[in-house]
Amino acid sequence: MFNVLLGYFKRFKTQIDPKLLFRMLLLGIIIFLIIAFIVYNIEPQDQFNSLADAIWWVVVTATTVGYGDFFPVSVGGRLLAVVLMVLGIGLFGGITATITDLFIKIEKRRELGQLTADYKGHIIICGWCEKTSEIIRQILNEDIENKQIVLIADLERDPFPDNNLVHFIRGEIDDKEILEKANIQWARTAIILNEDNNDATTVLSALTINSLNSTLYSIAEISKEENRIHLQNAGVDEIVVNNDISSRLMVRTAFYHGTSIVFNELLTNKIGNEVYMLKVEKEYADKSFAELFTYLKQKENAILLGLKRGDNVLLNPDNSKLVLAGDYLIYMALKRIDNFCI
């Protein structure tokens, strides 16, 4: 709840004219102080013992609270009280209406994908297709600290209007201004979907993203294997050829029945085991793959599948293979391992 209010406040600050708000408040304070000074001087001393009492009366009267601990008895004082009530209702009502209107406009712009993102370390998803919703749901179900998502898609309205972890920005995925609006410079990951089966759009989007943030980790989807080289030249870290994965899985399932069920469990965080990675720190390095395999199974009920060293993935290496500092352990478990200590 606090994060939601904080997000609205940040957007509110960018929408309101601070000079106009300051002038309205200053004018109201001056008028209220003048009325307090006049009432203090025209009323009997037993009604208002000090100027502070008169200021207090002005505040509670203008806000229509009206405690009744102080009140004017003279005709002039009562006329000023009427003026103060009208001014108070008008001023505070005007401010309230202005703020409410701004919040409505902010919500409307959010729904239409017009608000600029100001997050850091977020995930940007480029493109809308039949798999986008499932990708977003999987990310939101993942056990990670920062799940903030910025969705770039050419849709009329926000497809996730009730989820504040999904910030919708309407536009083309290869548009530089749209990507800057998504705060691509501070994002940690970008997922580029092949929304229209047009690899050229995917490559152009990857090139634009790389020019804006070359340190960001990017994953891109293409439909044709021969276009892989173009994404590699665009600086994409991982490339998924959508048709190849499904066709290969179907072949394996044809020979080894149930293979698709295994992969379905490993690739979803809704049920059963998932695949995770854990970085090996210096103090736990220089141990054999077999040692770590045994430890993880006995202590964490996890199965070590392999290693990631740099850009290379080594699945089921030799038992004597030494694990080095900076390697990533690829393991299968019911939950992520946070603390690694042998």
Domain count, the chain: 3
Look up residue 308 and give its amino acid.
Answer: K
| CATH classification at residue 147 | 3.40.50.720
Q: Which tens digit of pLDDT belongs to each residue from 251-296?
A: 889 999 999 889 888 888 778 899 999 999 887 788 999 999 999 9
| CATH classification at residue 102 | 1.10.287.70
Exposed / middle / buried, residue 157 (Cβ in 10 Å: 0-12, 13-18, 19+):
exposed
Q: Quick one: 64 and 162 in the same domain? A: no
H or E segment and range at residue 191: strand 189-192
Predicted local distance difference test score (pLDDT) of residue 16: 58
Q: Quick one: 217 and 163 in the same domain? A: yes
Predicted local distance difference test score (pLDDT) of residue 5: 46
257 part of a folded domain: no
Confidence of residue 2 (pLDDT cuts 50, 70, 90): very low
CA distances from 268 to 128, 226, 264, 296 (A): 20, 29, 6, 21
Cβ–Cβ < 8 Å for 150, 173:
no
224 part of a folded domain: yes
Closest CA to 238 of 250, 222, 226, 260: 222
Predicted local distance difference test score (pLDDT) of residue 19: 72
CA distances from 109 to 15, 157, 178, 273 (A): 11, 10, 15, 40
258 part of a folded domain: no
Q: Quick one: 305 and 235 in the same domain? A: no
The pTM of this model reads 0.69
Kindly report which listed range (65-74, 134-143, 240-249) carries the lowest average pLDDT score: 65-74
Q: Quick one: 229 and 129 in the same domain? A: yes
Q: Quick one: 239 and 140 in the same domain? A: yes
193, 226, 245 - which closes a domain: 245
- Mean pLDDT score, 179-198: 94
190 part of a folded domain: yes
Q: Which tens digit of pLDDT belongs to each residue from 200-212?
A: 999 999 999 999 9
Q: Which tens digit of pLDDT belongs to each residue from 127-176?
A: 999 899 999 999 998 878 889 999 999 999 999 998 989 999 999 999 99
- Mean pLDDT score, 25-29: 80
33 part of a folded domain: yes
302 part of a folded domain: yes
Q: Quick one: 147 and 187 in the same domain? A: yes
**Segments forming the whole domain that contains residue 48:** 2-111
